[in-house]
Chains A and B, each alone.
Chain A
């Protein structure tokens, strides 16, 4: 039961993707495969969860067979336990919501200049989901890498979906290449583990984590962190995520909520014993997470664009999850990070899908085109407000419990000493305040205030808003997913009453919860009262230069361009010249030499019999002399 469910959870969306691409003569057929595939996946993920809770984990589910590597074998198996099953359910629910939402969001065929490309879109989303499911279920690091990178290429395709836009093309390439650089770490970790530990089987690695040699395990853990930083958009490899907002908004919901960015945190949680055995690896992760959560929250505060604000908030929130795992002191303590991962999946998907509705209504993602939607769209703003409140960690929403869970875990670890947990606690508390601030700011700018005058809805955002009869009515396909996602957003705290095995380590200390909520409420309150004090936007309080600096993400893109992109381009040009004028000179030189030799030697061929006779006599003399001398 468990085995079949786990396998189906991975295979069903992949099959839906292939059928959607190859066997769908019409748009309706493509829609059918996508919806059918995601619903079937939800069912099989739920069955898997029930089976795993009832029968216990299964560590070896034969999947793609075993391969002879020359030395040793590679076992391409799956596994199913409560960690994989709970994450799988979250992935499946979010993906199904996204698929349903997209049927309305990518409406019609579009124009020849900006086609909707729904068929390719739906199939790619299905494949993306399948890849995440493979990451979640893989029992071998190499198999995990397969899902990991397939997800990367799908994100490339989806971010660049509106490929007629230059910004989308650039963002797609950036998303793939930045994560690929991180993935070199995973590749090298596979190399190190395969040669040092003799296996990449997750089951065996977890069993033998403490027996492995120190250098091997430390190198592997640190290299894996590079991959985590890339996929989970942690400093310094986070630069791709804000740009990835060029993708259609439902894609952002998918990438930011349950897949892709969650994969990195999942990997650390999955291999936690390995990271615990490696000295310093979790401290590195904690530093990375602390820098990222605070820095990204500040950047979010300064954004002028709703989607970019949400993107930076994702970077910050994923850092929370990573911090929750990084402060673990023994193998059982993955709970806090995973719990935040699950709760974040719900409210962040809700927020992005709400943002998509807002975009759909006002035809823009900029805050300056929004405002006063509390009156025009009360239901939507209620849902949006719930999502933001969960993001800020306002009790008693799901986000409150999971955030306080992370804070409690960090405080517990800090109580046992060590600088890393203390740093995490300090950064997390400040971040809580800033998160409240930007969440409140987003609500103030979108829901409160006056409607902007003369909105110029250009109708080309995401290339979708052209064929609707009435752009002020949201189709049911777009509202139903919001209500579905609102359930976990509000009620996720109830899970703690009877948590599954993976979440058993989560607990929330009352005093921590109190301070945390005071910080969050303080931030939200500050932002919400700002308009009453005269300023529409609380971020206006920042100095202009600072705000511009934060809005541009600390200008790290410029650093990246100066340090990597431009030197690479210069090097490539130099190599190209070297190929043409250097290496190619070899055959050209040989040819020239041969020609010259031919012309020179031909001079001896005078055509006169006397000349040839001279050579013959001369030759005979030389041979004769040589014969006498050498004998």
Chain B
């Protein structure tokens, strides 16, 4: 085992040697234990999983502290942050290389936090299909895989981690998914709809991964390395324009499925709608982030000229997603599906920010990434609670007057909606603001820069239209009369409030103190773009 942490402080190197492997390994190991010990009851299993997730969160925060301060240029430039690198497949030159810098730390902490919340949620709120032990194991596997993805500094390690996540997520949707889906013109509803949602999720993302792998292999074969630090340092030097463009198209297309970019987003609404509450939270808060993180880590620094070439297309697809999904949300009747579609709009901002290839745009993209994880995670938690009580997420079935009937749940929903429409002062705002600022004077977007910026700004108003429609239909309004009124329904339990509270607190904190995140990612973003010859400050 060799240790090549670039840091000087002994604490950093010590931390680097055990912290990152433990961070990634702990949730995976505990998941394995949960699966292999069948005598473990659901109560014990969910508590063990929650404990493991809590330790993981502590480790993630410790990792962040060890990687701080983020004033170095980040791993892309070979300094700053913590890392560990073990020999792995010597014949291929693949090393087990993990690290945390300003780009990965926010996502690592977010993933660990959401992992704790979904496992903690499971302690009291059990799925209809039972088998909470296996579900907890699936959650932990997703978290472990995602943590590995966000810390991987080797292309092959990244790809494997990226794939690990798919399998448990398929189980989460296919086994614990909602089988009360209505029959529609194109779907048989019920169990068939559930299986279709799971299959579509796995087929879409697996095809995306395959395409991405082709691009990664192309780069690896041409550069003769799979190490992301080296690749970022070389910044595409030695790769011809044609190779860069081809690799960029393949990598970006593959990751765009996951992000998701319009029109490759159609796996997302059924998957989110069908998945159990915790699954939806992880899908929105963690899985989508893997796509955009991949763009920032794998595409932008590795084949910068290629990304620059296809930036107008990527930006246009991002904005198309903002407008298209925003409009579709306005007539959507299923609340869970609506939140899922709104994710497409929110991730459109992230894609636009990345496509701008400017420091501000990238800052905005990374901020919006985290903000979306918090806000949409909260919305899925709340909507899950609403759905559990009404046995439906249909806006008409839920009925009016939530603010009077279920005040705590109602206010959480209102808060989530208000945060979702990008209200300044809450986390959603800064990502959108910086994205449009970055896109406005982007040279990569060329002639499309101004029109795309204006369209994206209009998208912020569209978000207000559909989210206020939701509040008007279910939060406002008189108490329903008739059958719905007679059914007893408890408001959010203290347990549910505790699970949602961190998301509310962080949404407010990041909204008022954006530098908490921006100062972390700033130097790394500059390093990514300056090295790749981007718009230097």
The proximity string for A residues 119-159 relative to B, scoring 1 for CB distances below 8 Å and 0 otherwise, is 01000000000000000000000100111111001001000
Residues in A48-78 with C-beta less than 8 Å from chain B: 64-72, 74
Q: Is A441 an interface residue (CB 8 A)?
A: no
A68, A71, A192, A588: which contacts B515 (Cβ < 8 A)? A68
Knowing A64-B513, A70-B360, A70-B526, say if A195 contacts B537 (CB, 8 Å).
no
Do B363 and A70 touch (CB < 8 A)? yes
Q: Is A250 an interface residue (CB 8 A)?
A: no
Q: Is B409 an interface residue (CB 8 A)?
A: no
Do B477 and A164 touch (CB < 8 A)? yes
Contacts of A211 in B (CB 8 A): none
- Cα separation A69 to B526 with both chains bound (whole Å): 10
- Cα separation A573 to B332 with both chains bound (whole Å): 9
Contacts of A568 in B (CB 8 A): 330, 465
Contacts of B263 in A (CB 8 A): 583, 586
Q: Which segment, of A181-189, A393-401, A487-495, faces chain B?
A: A181-189
Contacts of A67 in B (CB 8 A): 514-515, 518-519
CB-nearest residue of chain A to B466: A572
- Cα separation A105 to B263 with both chains bound (whole Å): 53
Do B458 and A187 touch (CB < 8 A)? no
Q: Is A176 an interface residue (CB 8 A)?
A: yes
Do B425 and A149 touch (CB < 8 A)? yes
- Cα separation A436 to B33 with both chains bound (whole Å): 82
Q: Is B373 an interface residue (CB 8 A)?
A: no
Q: Is B327 an interface residue (CB 8 A)?
A: yes
Minimal beta-carbon separation of A265 from chain B (angstroms): 20
Knowing A69-B522, A160-B476, A191-B437, say if A587 contacts B418 (CB, 8 Å).
no
B361, B438, B477, B518: which contacts A163 (Cβ < 8 A)? B477
Contacts of A117 in B (CB 8 A): 403-404
Interface size range on A against B: 35 or more
B330, B437, B458: which contacts A572 (Cβ < 8 A)? B330
Q: Is B314 an interface residue (CB 8 A)?
A: no
Q: Is B396 an interface residue (CB 8 A)?
A: no
Most buried by B among A66, A74, A177, A575: A575
Knowing A70-B358, A113-B479, A163-B477, say if A580 contacts B468 (CB, 8 Å).
no
Knowing A187-B460, A583-B266, A586-B266, say if A69 contacts B519 (CB, 8 Å).
no
Q: Is A180 an interface residue (CB 8 A)?
A: yes
Do B424 and A150 touch (CB < 8 A)? yes
Minimal beta-carbon separation of A332 from chain B (angstroms): 31
Do A68 and B519 touch (CB < 8 A)? yes
- Cα separation A183 to B24 with both chains bound (whole Å): 44
- Cα separation A148 to B331 with both chains bound (whole Å): 29
Do B434 and A69 touch (CB < 8 A)? yes
Give how many A-B residue pairs fall within 8 Å (CB-CB).
158
- Cα separation A578 to B265 with both chains bound (whole Å): 13
Minimal beta-carbon separation of B150 from chain A (angstroms): 20
Contacts of A181 in B (CB 8 A): 461
Residues in B455-491 with C-beta less than 8 Å from chain A: 457-458, 460-461, 464-465, 468-469, 472, 475-479
Do B359 and A71 touch (CB < 8 A)? yes
- Cα separation A65 to B518 with both chains bound (whole Å): 12
Q: What is the total number of residues of chain B having a CB less than 8 Å from a CB of chain A?
A: 65
The proximity string for B residues 431-460 relative to A, scoring 1 for CB distances below 8 Å and 0 otherwise, is 001101110110000000000011001101
Contacts of A173 in B (CB 8 A): 468-469, 472
Do A195 and B424 touch (CB < 8 A)? no
Q: Is B40 an interface residue (CB 8 A)?
A: no
Contacts of A66 in B (CB 8 A): 515
Minimal beta-carbon separation of B444 from chain A (angstroms): 14
CB-nearest residue of chain A to B438: A70
Q: Is A194 an interface residue (CB 8 A)?
A: yes
Do B472 and A169 touch (CB < 8 A)? yes
Minimal beta-carbon separation of A155 from chain B (angstroms): 13
Q: Is A557 an interface residue (CB 8 A)?
A: no
Contacts of B518 in A (CB 8 A): 67-70
Do B478 and A113 touch (CB < 8 A)? yes
Do B424 and A146 touch (CB < 8 A)? yes
Q: Is A616 an interface residue (CB 8 A)?
A: no
Most buried by A among B324, B363, B476, B525: B476
Contacts of B27 in A (CB 8 A): none
Contacts of A146 in B (CB 8 A): 424-425, 429
CB-nearest residue of chain A to B403: A163
- Cα separation A184 to B401 with both chains bound (whole Å): 31
- Cα separation A160 to B324 with both chains bound (whole Å): 29
Do A580 and B186 touch (CB < 8 A)? yes
Knowing A69-B518, A142-B433, A191-B437, say if A148 contacts B461 (CB, 8 Å).
no
CB-nearest residue of chain A to B71: A68
Contacts of B460 in A (CB 8 A): 180, 184, 187
Residues in B302-350 with C-beta less than 8 Å from chain A: 324, 327-328, 330-332
CB-nearest residue of chain B to A194: B437
A112, A149, A569: which contacts B424 (Cβ < 8 A)? A149
Contacts of A69 in B (CB 8 A): 359-360, 363, 434, 437, 518, 522
Q: Is B512 an interface residue (CB 8 A)?
A: yes
Minimal beta-carbon separation of B41 from chain A (angstroms): 36
- Cα separation A160 to B477 with both chains bound (whole Å): 10
- Cα separation A69 to B521 with both chains bound (whole Å): 9
Knowing A70-B360, A173-B472, A184-B458, say if A112 contacts B477 (CB, 8 Å).
no
Q: Is B126 an interface residue (CB 8 A)?
A: no
- Cα separation A74 to B433 with both chains bound (whole Å): 12
- Cα separation A71 to B356 with both chains bound (whole Å): 14
Known interface pairs A584-B186, A584-B266; 19 further A-B residue pairs with C-beta atoms within 8 A, sorted by A's residue number: A65-B515, A69-B363, A70-B363, A117-B403, A120-B403, A146-B424, A149-B424, A156-B468, A163-B401, A163-B477, A164-B476, A169-B472, A173-B469, A180-B461, A194-B437, A195-B441, A572-B331, A583-B263, A587-B200
**The 4 A-B residue pairs with the shortest CB-CB distance in the complex, in nearest-first order:** A70-B359, A68-B522, A163-B476, A67-B515
Please name 26 pairs of A and B residues whose Cβ atoms are closer than 8 Å in the assembled complex, sorted by A.
A70-B358, A70-B522, A71-B358, A71-B535, A71-B537, A112-B479, A117-B403, A163-B403, A164-B404, A164-B476, A169-B477, A173-B468, A173-B469, A173-B472, A177-B465, A184-B457, A184-B461, A187-B436, A188-B454, A195-B440, A572-B328, A575-B327, A579-B266, A580-B185, A586-B266, A587-B200
